[in-house]
A and B are shown apart, each in its own frame.
Chain A
Amino acid sequence: MTLLKHELKQGFKTLAIWTASIGFLIAICLFLFPEMKGEMDNVSDMFSSMGSFTAAFGMDRLNFGTLIGFYAVECGNILGLGGAFFASLIAVSALAKEEKERTAEFLLSHPVSRVSVISSKLAALVVQIVVMNVVIFALSAACIAVIGEEPAWKEICLLHLAYFLLQLELAGVCFGLSAFLRRGSLGIGLGIAAMMYFLNIIANISEKAEFLKVITPFGYAEGADIVSNGSLDGKLVLIGMAFALIGVAAAYFWYSRKDIH
């Protein structure tokens, strides 16, 4: 419990900055929506004539003139990408930072088992991700209420659930990597999040690359699919959670045997 509290304290600034930044961007976009709605006929025409660019962001299947269509694309890019970066960053440095900043010797010369260190850090990670998502969701809901829209709440909840799962998956995978790393972890975390995002864009553009959806968590967090199906793709979610579990298992396996320098 001491360690969990310590981890949360250490990570509070990062959490606050990321939550505030993502929340701020989403709020701005939502406040722009009423103004844009009137001009949406032209905008939709424009977007639908942009070929694969439209497909890349799923805008060929979403109506930009409705709040849910607008929200799925905006949220998909702001919370999807921002949340992915945040989750990857904090996860990939969770274990590695102790050795990078050379605090591992201090921590592990106390009577705490390696397993409890890993568990506390994992718990802190999940708590931070949950807090960020709850705050962002509440903020979005408040903004929607302020601009006086009555959107399809089920779809909005599904979108947020998908981004939450996406962050958990990336966090799990990056946490696993964190156990193996000593330095340079942040770059790897950002790289993984960015790579997954672009894999999904490639999968959207080309039918041949559709299989990439299985690999990238952005596959099941695709706004267009969620809104048009009214549900998440359970199979992709399960595969994603399996990746996360493998990452976590690897962290337990490796970090409890690792030589600490």
Chain B
Amino acid sequence: MDAIKTTGLTKYYGKARGIIDLNLCVPEGEFFGFIGPNGAGKSTTIRTLLGLISPSGGSGEIFGMNMVKDRQKILDCVGYLPSEAVFYQDMRVRDVLKLSAGLRKKDCREEAARLCERLELDTSRKVDELSFGNRKKVAIVCALQHRPRLLVLDEPTSGLDPLMQREFFSILRERNQEGATVFLSSHVLSEIQRNCRRAAIIREGRLIACDSVEALSKTNAKRVTVHGELDIEKLPGVRDIQPLDGGASFLFGGDINALVNKLAACRLTDLSVAEPDLEEIFLHYYTEGGETK
């Protein structure tokens, strides 16, 4: 079964673009990354799926349930971590967690206590007094304490220190191994590359790629780093040249023989050819229309 499936999902804010004709499919049990820069439509997609905003066109299903008609049933099995964690004023952390559990008509005290301990969250503090990162932790516990089948995370790591990020992802991996689907929206590519099996890339409201992270990273382009005297600027297939101390680094997507011939004519002291990381792939997709320049 698909955890998330959208068909031609479209949302306009008046005339402004939100998302256009989005066809997204996330199988159950997946650890799925949703990549895009600010304003690409990541949050719009999530908010539409959760019924916070209504779509202008198309449809969406979560575990086979219609996102508009079965909103309440869907939210019952979803844990949502918003990008900005805001809570009611004058409440203590434990009261927020209790309110969240109460709204779900569930007793989550045990799980909440476990999560708070792992995330080192003091439940007796008032939420208004918490730092941004600690408020984020409260939101994480709210999203996880009822052990949802689907976790929807909107830029989850902003504000968390590296140790907490690691703990957070280890919790997510455990949940994923227990069968939960994780939908992780982020513009931090390294965390998607490290954690997700599959990912979709969204650009200006449209889905431009959806594949396994491995396949997404595998383009015919290579990251070439050379030291020594060289002149490769005119070679077809070279782009993103970054000058280095005594050399250069560039992406190469052309004929590898032409490159080798060219390099053979230069005096080099060092050479390395590597797969580009997701960061570079991402930039690749975000160059005009995703076409190789």
Contact = CB atoms under 8 A, between A and B. Distances in A.
Q: Do A and B come from one complex?
A: yes
B271 to A, nearest CB: 51
A42 interface: no
B75 A110 contact: yes
Interface string A1-19: 0110010001000000000
Nearest to B13: A259
A110 to B, nearest CB: 4
Given A2-B99, A101-B89, A102-B86, A112 B72 contact: yes
Given A2-B103, A6-B99, A102-B84, A109 B72 contact: no
B50 interface: yes
B114 interface: no
A41 interface: no
Contact of A111 (B90, B99, B104, B142): B104
Interface in A54-103: 101-103
Contacts, number: 63
B170 interface: no
A106 B87 contact: yes
A10 B99 CA distance: 12
Interface in A218-261: 257, 259-261
A149 interface: no
A49 interface: no
A112 B13 CA distance: 25
B53 A259 contact: yes
A6 B99 CA distance: 8
B133 to A, nearest CB: 18
Interface in B36-62: 47, 50-54
Contact of B103 (A10, A112, A261): A112
A103 B52 contact: no
A161 B3 CA distance: 55
A6 B47 CA distance: 24
Nearest to A261: B53
A2 B52 contact: no
Nearest to A98: B88
Contacts of B253: none
B83 to A, nearest CB: 9
A111 B52 contact: no
A206 interface: no
B286 to A, nearest CB: 26
Given A102-B84, A103-B86, A105-B82, A257 B54 contact: yes
Contacts of B50: 108-109
Contact of B76 (A10, A101, A111, A261): A111
B103 A111 contact: yes
A113 interface: yes
A113 B87 contact: no
B86 A109 contact: no
Given A101-B86, A106-B86, A113 B52 contact: no
Contact of B72 (A3, A107, A113): A113
B86 A260 contact: no
Interface in B55-111: 71-76, 78, 80, 82, 84, 86-90, 99-100, 102-105
A10 B54 CA distance: 29
Contacts of B90: 10
Nearest to B88: A103
A3 B84 contact: no
B86 A2 contact: no
Given A101-B89, A259-B52, A260-B52, A109 B99 contact: no
A111 B73 contact: yes
Contact of A110 (B73, B86, B103): B103
Contacts of A257: 54
Contacts of A107: 103
Nearest to B96: A106
B169 to A, nearest CB: 22
Given A105-B52, A111-B74, A112-B72, 7 more contacts: A103-B87, A106-B142, A109-B80, A111-B104, A113-B72, A257-B54, A259-B53
3 closest A-B pairs by CB: A2-B102, A110-B103, A111-B75
Interface of A: 2-3, 6, 10, 101-113, 257, 259-261
9 contacts: A2-B103, A103-B87, A103-B88, A109-B78, A109-B82, A110-B75, A110-B103, A111-B104, A112-B103
